[in-house]
Structure 1
Amino acid sequence: MKGQTIGYIRVSSFEQNEARQLEKEALDRVFTDKASGKDTNRPQLKELIQFVREGDLVLVHSMDRLARNLDDLRKLVKSFVAKGVSVKFVKEGLLFSTEDDSPMSNLLLSVMGAFAEFERSLIKERQREGIELAKKKGVYKGRAKALSDEDIVLLNERVSAGVNKSTLAKEFGISRQTLYSYLRY
């Protein structure tokens, strides 16, 4: 049974260009997330999982676009294949399907997924080292505060007065998460 060819594209931020990932592929539908791959809690990935049907083929540019850690990668591929959906990683040239459930494919998925996870860990380690070095040189100041000290005092006063936190977050132009971090001061 031949289904649709569906693309899944992920970039980590809105500034990144996702166009290059599957530009040469003929796709019936594309799901694009602009979010971190640290976990599988991504809106378009969830929609893709709900959308695909038996016989469909999901194309992904590379393994690290689908998942950043081996456990998530293996779970996602297994769940697609269990639904009768094939998954192809273009960059790695690997296809996973019910027809080709070979031990070699599973080994390659594990090994290449482990390398992707290892690479991500190295990147984060280098980033931490760079930040520490910049701090020692006095160059790194951290992220700029979203609110001034006066705004923080005002925010706390208004929360104490019972003003809705969502309303305050919009008014101050910050996320609710940022609002809650300022309430801990």
Structure 2
Amino acid sequence: MKYGYRRVSSVDQKLDRQILPAEISEANVFEEKISGARGTNRPELENVLGRLRPGDELHVYSTDRLARSTRDLLDIVERVKAVGAVLIFEKERLTFSGDNADPMSDFMLTMLGALAEMERANIRARQLEGIEIAKSRGKYRGGRKRLDRKAVWKLLDAGFGPQEVADTLRIGVASVYRIRKEGRSMASAP
């Protein structure tokens, strides 16, 4: 069986440029819009890895789409090889399977993983530099606004409906429902 895996780091990004072989059925292409950082829960990746059987092929557009750390990349490659499946990186034209012990391919994989890891660190450093510059100019507002659970309960107790509370506090109505469901014990939490 041939499978494909595509990943982008955020919901705003597109998967279109990650071209996989046409013979892979759309039903066998697993996609997610989530960070590839080590420790990140990637359910679609786990799903496809769990389906692999001896002789199966897993096609990934590029090494940096599979993992952002060298250790994670090498671990995933070993998992694929351990079940007797084949891992193919389309962009780099690298193939890994349990029966092809190619030291040069292993070296290339390690180098590509290290480069992806370095690029990720550089992106993060540039992002932090940009935030510091924006803060110094007074143009950075920070992350998400914390929910004021007490204010939500005050309005609910005053007879406001969930939509009215959401509109008044400029928050999503789903947040109001969630706070109401959690109960008053969470009202003192930030």
Query: Could you say which residue in structure 2 is the equivalent of 1:55?
Result: 55
CA distance in 2 between partners of 1:67 and 1:183 (Å): 39
Q: Where do 5+ consecutive residues of structure 1 fail to align?
A: 158-168
Name whichever of 50-59 and 24-33 sits farther off: 24-33
Change (3 A) 1:123 1:171: closer
Query: Could you say which residue in structure 2 is the equivalent of 1:163?
Result: none
CA distance in 1 between partners of 2:126 and 2:187 (Å): 29
Trace 1:95-114 onto structure 2 (pairs within 5 A): 95-114=95-114
SS of residue in 2 equivalent to 1:36 = coil
Partner deviation per Cα, 1:32-71 (whole Å, 9 max, x = no partner): 1111111352110111111111101100011111111111
CA distance in 2 between partners of 1:78 and 1:16 (Å): 29
Q: TM-score, normalised by structure 1?
A: 0.79
Q: TM-score, normalised by structure 2?
A: 0.77
CA distance in 1 between partners of 2:59 and 2:187 (Å): 42
Change (3 A) 1:59 1:23: closer
Is the 8 Å Cα contact of residues 36 and 68 (structure 2) preserved in structure 1? yes
1:172 partnered with 2:176: yes
Q: Which has the larger radius of gyration?
A: 2
CA distance in 2 between partners of 1:135 and 1:63 (Å): 35
Is the 8 Å Cα contact of residues 62 and 89 (structure 1) preserved in structure 2? yes
SS of residue in 2 equivalent to 1:88 = strand
1:38 partner amino acid: A
CA distance in 2 between partners of 1:9 and 1:173 (Å): 34
CA distance in 1 between partners of 2:9 and 2:142 (Å): 21
Shift of 1:24: 4.8
CA distance in 2 between partners of 1:174 and 1:94 (Å): 47
CA distance in 1 between partners of 2:178 and 2:10 (Å): 18
Q: 1:25 aligns with which of 9, 22, 26?
A: 22
Change (3 A) 1:126 1:183: farther
2:42 partner amino acid: R
SS of residue in 2 equivalent to 1:143 = coil
SS of residue in 2 equivalent to 1:139 = coil
Trace 1:1-185 onto structure 2 (pairs within 5 A): 4-28=1-25, 29-39=28-38, 41-145=41-145, 147=147, 151-154=148-151, 170-172=174-176, 183-185=188-190
Shift of 1:19: 2.3
Q: Where do 5+ consecutive residues of structure 2 fail to align?
A: 155-172
